[in-house]
Amino acid sequence: MNRRDLLKLIGATPLLSATGLAAEPSDPLTTNADQDAYRLVIYGATPGGVACAVRAAREGLKVLLVSAHVHLGGMFSSGLGIMDTLYNGSRAPIYDEFRQSIYDWYRLKYGTDSVQYQNAGPGISKTKYEAHVAEQLINSLLSAEPNINILKGYYPTAAEKNGRKIGSVVFKAMDGPATKTIRGNLFADCSYEADLAVIAGVSCRMGRESKQEFNERYAGVIYTEDVKPGEGTYNLGKEETSIASTLNLFRYEHTSTIVFMPESTGEADPAIQAFNLRAIITNNPGNRVLPVKPANYDAAYFAKEYTHKADKVALSRPNSKSSMNYPKIVGLQNKYVEGNWEQRSKIIQQFKDELLGLLYFRQNDPSLDPAIREHWRKYGLAKDEFVDNDHLPYELYVRESRRIKGRKVFTQNDAQLLKGLSRAPVHPDSIGVTEWFLDSHACTGKRVTGSKAEGEVMLKSETVPGQIPLATLFPQEFDNMMVPVCLSATHIGWGAIRLEPVWMNVGEVAAYAAVETLARKISIHQIDTERFIYQLASKRFMLTFFNDMEGRESANWYPAVQYLGTKGFFGTYEALPQKKLTRKLAERWAEHLQAWNRKTDWDANNQAMMSLKAEEAGGDLVTAGEFASLVERSLRLTGQVKSLQQKLALKNNVHVTRGDAARLIFEAISIPLSKRTM
């Protein structure tokens, strides 16, 4: 089966038909005749919101997608220009489908051998695209779903609540006095600012936690510099950098962040990381708009604030374009998040003025070296981007805003090695993977001698892939609301989450959670996570990062390995599905199953530690028949596991592989799971 056929398959199969877990919905997922009432109301047409809407609609829900902006797609349509991910494999069905649509668009328009198609990045993790192309593809994805209604140019102003449930939300027009009251069974805040969550009364974090609150080494007020591992005052354990350097991920230049002491107090601080516009520039004379001198231009300011060096510009996006990652105005980020839309609009204009002023300064100021001016006159704003907005992005790049106080919290420690394991902590309710390095851009403009701006942290060498718990999406206050974008995390933990590929994954999972909730007539936090995670694995979501998964997502063992990775069957980032199973590890897995089935002394991380020790012990091999007997006794399924062994065509006297053993466990587990009740 090729990748495209696989995507079609996993995009079309209903969640509730997962192997062994078929269940008839207690409430048919029909549309509501009332045009102002929806099964799922989503605020925020970010990539996460789009993925949530598309999946929910495909599963039969009547969906309303509300956007404060007229242009949909969030940062995909506002200049980001790249998939910020270090992993090149499949992640989640809608994300995979959208990413493939980018490649297809450039291939069909320009040809397989074209520069444009090659610059889109087929075969590498960092897919690249033009903003107007991404917006076109987002619109196509949404318009293909008749169950999706879209309301553009509206934002939430009030919520009607009945105990622990939201009944309706009042949305106000961005321009003018018009309002709309929308009723819904479920609500999802997929905005970058968590505005719906705040209006509803959800408790949120804003700013940086102290180092002590969650035992996070890099939390709070912090001053850093970057050095290569083993140099300078480098004082982190070698194990972290050793494992991180061997992972099948895109690697930036290996650096490690060193904390300056005693200036780094680790105290809590209200400042979050800085924002900027992601303007698109080009050197194509036929598609280039040179900036004119902006109003209130102050050459002295730019001479003081910005270096005179001619920055390198890599036009690596299709059609000779680049997405600028500066200028950053440190100090406006909190005001933007906490302000109303009138105040936010003024702040966005400040960023536009700064960007245009900087470009004009570098192209024209007589104090600069003529070579610098000549260099920058080659570049201008792309004429075919943001054509109704003076060729500047529609949205500010909100790297961080509020983060809800959910039922679980993702912290720095969830993306670093757990003592006793060769991987990050295991979460049995994992719904997706983080693989970006823990990072934060500057939070304040303060510096100490030799440091970066205060708050800047780039843990490129020490971060390892983590798992995102389902409960991070659920506010503590409500039973019919999810927050897939501004989910529950600390400031430092947020650095590994805050990427569009992760949000598309999480947004799609939220849609499946909505389907499960409505079908079973339960509160969102009452979802049976054991069944739900099993179903996600059956849909081939990446729930666990393994070093040997990329390109093998269609393998028959893939769902099993992903699921067991959330239960502590693996203590490293190596699944080794084709390796023969040793007797020691087989017995350990059987003991693990027994504990899981009885729910006695069962802890995923402790189980993973014991599995790691058994794996390291080696030993003789076990046959499929012997392993089936072990599984049968562990789950008390007399005769049934042997039947599954035959169904999977695992020969009795042949040494079983780890992948096939995982398949057998996965099939066997479906039997007790299917008997579970709410």
The predicted-structure confidence for 338-363, as pLDDT tens digits, reads as follows 999 999 999 999 999 999 999 999 99
pLDDT of residue 258: 78
Contacts of 523 (CB under 8 A, 6+ apart): 164, 479, 480, 517
Q: Are residues 594 and 660 in the same domain?
A: yes
Q: Are residues 287 and 183 in the same domain?
A: no
Q: Is residue 458 situated within a structural domain?
A: no
Q: Are residues 183 and 284 in the same domain?
A: no
Neighbours of 305 (CB within 10 A): 13
Helix or strand or coil: residue 373? helix
Residue 328 DSSP label? B
Q: Is residue 248 situated within a structural domain?
A: no
Tokens at 555, concatenated: 């393998």
Q: Does pLDDT of 202 surpass 50?
A: yes
Q: Does pLDDT of 424 surpass 60?
A: yes
Tokens at 28, concatenated: 């048919």
Tokens at 164, concatenated: 């622990």
Tokens at 293, concatenated: 């001198």
Residue 621 forms beta bridges with which residues? 582
pLDDT of residue 238: 67
Neighbours of 636 (CB within 10 A): 11
Q: In which element (H, E) is residue 149 found?
A: strand 148-152
The string of pLDDT tens digits covering residues 70-125 is: 999 999 999 999 999 999 999 999 999 999 999 999 999 999 999 999 999 999 99
Task: Give me the number of domains the chain comprises.
Answer: 3
Tell me the average pLDDT of the chain: 92
CA–CA distance, 279 with 313 (Å, rounded to integer): 13
Q: Is residue 244 situated within a structural domain?
A: no
CA–CA distance, 205 with 213 (Å, rounded to integer): 13
Q: % helix / strand / coil in the chain, to the nearest 5?
A: 35, 15, 50
Q: Are residues 131 and 25 in the same domain?
A: yes
Helix or strand or coil: residue 225? strand
Q: Does pLDDT of 8 surpass 60?
A: no
Q: Is residue 455 situated within a structural domain?
A: no
Percent of the chain whose pLDDT exceeds 70: 92
Q: Is residue 447 situated within a structural domain?
A: no
Count Cβ atoms within 10 A of the Cβ of residue 163 and give its class: 0-12 exposed, 13-18 middle, 19 or more buried.
exposed
Helix or strand or coil: residue 245? helix
- What mean pLDDT do residues 571-596 have? 97
User: By residue range, what is the domain housing residue 571?
Assistant: 556-674
Residue 356 dihedral angles phi and psi, to the nearest 5°: -65, -40
Q: Are residues 124 and 200 in the same domain?
A: yes
The string of pLDDT tens digits covering residues 453-481 is: 999 999 888 899 999 999 999 999 999 99
Chain centre distance of CA 598: 34
Q: Is residue 394 situated within a structural domain?
A: no
Helix or strand or coil: residue 54? helix
Q: Does pLDDT of 36 surpass 70?
A: yes
Q: Are residues 89 and 117 in the same domain?
A: yes
Q: Is residue 523 situated within a structural domain?
A: yes
The string of pLDDT tens digits covering residues 42-78 is: 999 999 999 999 999 999 999 999 999 999 999 999 9
The residue among 367, 382, 397 that closes a domain is 382
pLDDT of residue 31: 35
Nearest to 70 by CA among 145, 137, 151: 151
Q: Are residues 529 and 593 in the same domain?
A: no
Nearest to 385 by CA among 276, 500, 282, 313: 282
The residue among 347, 365, 382 that closes a domain is 382
The residue among 382, 410, 430 that closes a domain is 382
pLDDT of residue 241: 76
677 — pLDDT class (breaks 50, 70, 90): low
Which CATH number goes with the domain that contains 85? 3.50.50.60
**Highest-scoring range by mean pLDDT, 8-17, 289-298, 570-579:** 570-579
Q: Is residue 451 situated within a structural domain?
A: no
Q: Does pLDDT of 257 surpass 50?
A: yes
Contact 410, 433 (CB under 8 A): no
pLDDT of residue 16: 38
Residue 74 DSSP label? G
pLDDT of residue 32: 38
Name the one residue in this structure whose structure tokens are 């107090």. 265
Name the one residue in this structure whose structure tokens are 């040793």. 582
pLDDT of residue 394: 98
**Prior bond to 393 cis, omega within 30?**
no
Q: Does pLDDT of 34 surpass 90?
A: no
Name the one residue in this structure whose structure tokens are 């999972």. 509
Neighbours of 576 (CB within 10 A): 17
Tokens at 58, concatenated: 């495909």
Q: Are residues 378 and 300 in the same domain?
A: yes
CA–CA distance, 149 with 147 (Å, rounded to integer): 7
Q: Are residues 475 and 593 in the same domain?
A: no
Nearest to 490 by CA among 211, 190, 208, 192: 208
19 — pLDDT class (breaks 50, 70, 90): very low
Residue 397 DSSP label? B
Q: Are residues 359 and 487 in the same domain?
A: no
Tokens at 271, concatenated: 């400042």
pLDDT of residue 311: 72
pLDDT of residue 129: 98
The string of pLDDT tens digits covering residues 280-334 is: 999 999 999 999 999 889 999 999 988 766 677 889 999 999 999 988 899 999 9
CA–CA distance, 12 with 5 (Å, rounded to integer): 11
- Taking CA atoms, 61 is separated from 47, 188, 480, 605, 665, in Å, by 19, 13, 15, 37, 33
pLDDT of residue 266: 96
Q: Are residues 112 and 176 in the same domain?
A: yes
Q: Are residues 76 and 126 in the same domain?
A: yes
pLDDT of residue 30: 33
Tokens at 486, concatenated: 């501004």
CA–CA distance, 146 with 149 (Å, rounded to integer): 8
